[in-house]
């Protein structure tokens, strides 16, 4: 079975631009979470979606938004990019929302803001 997939792999944007990152969960998984990982730190939770509804939000500004589609894939949008948004953006999927335990990560999208 295919794992979690993310696109694009790498992305370079300039300050003030907007970016959309995409994620497809493991087949059968209905929950998707997004994380930001800055170099040298652990992943920081951004959002969790389950059955197309937001189930959790981390301490990120409103410039960050996300959505989940009927096929359980998800998009993360970041507006008005700042240099500090440069990071590895990770998507993780679990079979279900509440009560789900292990989550599995995709390869990530490396975003560089110049």
Partner 1 sequence: QKEVEQNSGPLSVPEGAIASLNCTYSDRVSQSFFWYRQYSGKSPELIMSIYSNGDKEDGRFTAQLNKASQYVSLLIRDSQPSDSATYLCAGKTSYDKVIFGPGTSLSVIP
**Spatial distance between the Cα atoms of 114 and 87, rounded to a whole number of angstroms:** 12
Binding status of residue 1 toward partner 1 by CB under 8 A: no
Q: Which of 32, 103, 111, 113 binds partner 1 (CB under 8 A)?
A: 103
Q: Is 21 exposed, middle or buried (0-12, 13-18, 19+ CB in 10 A)?
A: buried
Stretch of 16-24, 69-77, 78-86, 93-101 contacting partner 1, by CB under 8 A: 93-101
Q: Position of tokens 């087949």? A: 27
Q: Which of 21, 43, 72, 76 binds partner 1 (CB under 8 A)?
A: 43
Q: Which of 45, 60, 73, 95 binds partner 1 (CB under 8 A)?
A: 45
Binding status of residue 25 toward partner 1 by CB under 8 A: no
**In 85-98, which positions are buried (b, 16+ CB within 10 angstroms) versus exposed (e)?**
bbbebbbbbbbebe
Q: Position of tokens 């959002």? A: 47
In the complex, the residues that contact partner 1 under the rule CB under 8 A are: 33, 35, 40-45, 48, 55-56, 58, 88, 90, 97-108
């Amino acid at each position: 079975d295919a794992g979690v997939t993310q696109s694009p792999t790498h992305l370079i944007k300039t300050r003030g631009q907007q970016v959309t990152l995409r994620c497809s969960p493991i087949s059968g998984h209905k929950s998707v979470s997004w994380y930001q990982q800055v170099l040298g730190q652990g992943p920081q939770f951004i959002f969790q979606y389950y059955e197309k509804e937001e189930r959790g939000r981390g301490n990120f500004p409103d410039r960050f938004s996300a959505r989940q589609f009927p096929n359980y894939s998800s998009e993360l949008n970041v507006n008005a990019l700042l240099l500090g948004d440069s990071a590895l953006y990770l998507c993780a999927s679990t079979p279900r929302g509440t009560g789900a335990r292990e989550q599995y990560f995709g390869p990530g999208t490396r975003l560089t803001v110049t």
